[in-house]
Amino acid sequence: SVGGKVTLDQIDGLSKTSYPLCMRQLHTAMKENHHLKHFGRLQYGLFIKGIGLSLEEALIFWRSEFTKLMDVDKFDKQYAYNIRHSYGKEGKRQDYTPYSCMKIIMTNPPGPGDHHGCPFRHTDADLLRQRLAAYRIPKKGIDEIMEFVKESHYQLACTRYFELTHGVTASSAINHPNQYFDESRQVLQD
Ligand code: SF4
């Protein structure tokens, strides 16, 4: 990321200022449920790796949430391996890269109890409107975003959301959650 390393104590604040909607949704669900299902763990885990959270801190993050509902032993046996794996520390040591918007929009649509996916693509329109209003997007802005959604221009909807929440005109369309994050940091740190 632009600002270099992100540390665990910054994550909550950043989720409200610099995360795209898809990742804010995953972060919020994690905090509320102390759990995320498989594709949510993948989508969010690779994103936080991409913004520069170290493997050590990622393990602390997942462990501290998950062990609110399960014992440490179970976490270490069932989940820690996959987190290390996504950082390329286990198995074939493949380096997994964070998912692009296209991949999130086109593959593995969320089912009941899932929080992954792209809210502009996968969230019911009324619910999406409510959430945008709760995040203080003005009515006119919500209408603009929903117009893009209606025409299946999900990434343009996301770009408009970026513009409205950052008070800038975007230089390019959003095509990757980590690009969204980097551009947000650039705007907010200037
Ligand atoms: Fe996330 Fe991309 Fe959807 Fe924006 S367009 S919410 S960054 S998946």
pLDDT of residue 1: 44
- Atom 5 of ligand 1, nearest CA residue: 155
95 CB contacts (<8 Å, ≥6 apart)?
88
Stretches in the chain below the pLDDT threshold 70: 1-4, 92-95, 190
- Each residue of 54-89: pLDDT tens digit? 999 999 999 999 999 999 999 998 899 889 988 887
Task: Say how many Å lie between the CA of residue 154 and the centre of ligand 1.
Answer: 7
Distance from residue 22's CA to the centre of ligand 1 (Å): 6
Determine the pLDDT at residue 87: 87
Candidates 190, 184, 188; CA nearest to 1 is 184
Tell me, what DSSP letter sits at residue 68?
Answer: T
Q: Is 5 helix (H, G, I), strand (E, B) or coil?
A: coil
How remote is the CA of residue 72 from the centroid of ligand 1, in Å?
Answer: 33
ipTM: 0.99
What is the DSSP annotation of 79-139?
Answer: THHHHHHHTT-STT---PPPPPHHHHHHSS---TT---S-HHHHS-HHHHHHHHHHTT--H
Q: Measured between alpha carbons, how far is 119 from 72 in angstroms, rounded to an integer?
A: 32
> Is residue 3 within 8 Å of 169, Cβ to Cβ?
no
Ligand 1: residues within 6 Å at CB? 20-22, 101, 104, 118-120, 154-155, 158, 174, 177, 180
Rounded to the nearest 10°, the torsion over CA 22, 23, 28, 34 is: 120
Q: Which helix (H) or strand (E) holds 73?
A: helix 72-78
What is the distance in A from the centroid of ligand 1 to the CA of 40?
14
Q: Which of 118, 161, 162, 175 to mutate to test the pocket of ligand 1 (most atoms within 8 A of CB)?
A: 118
pTM: 0.94
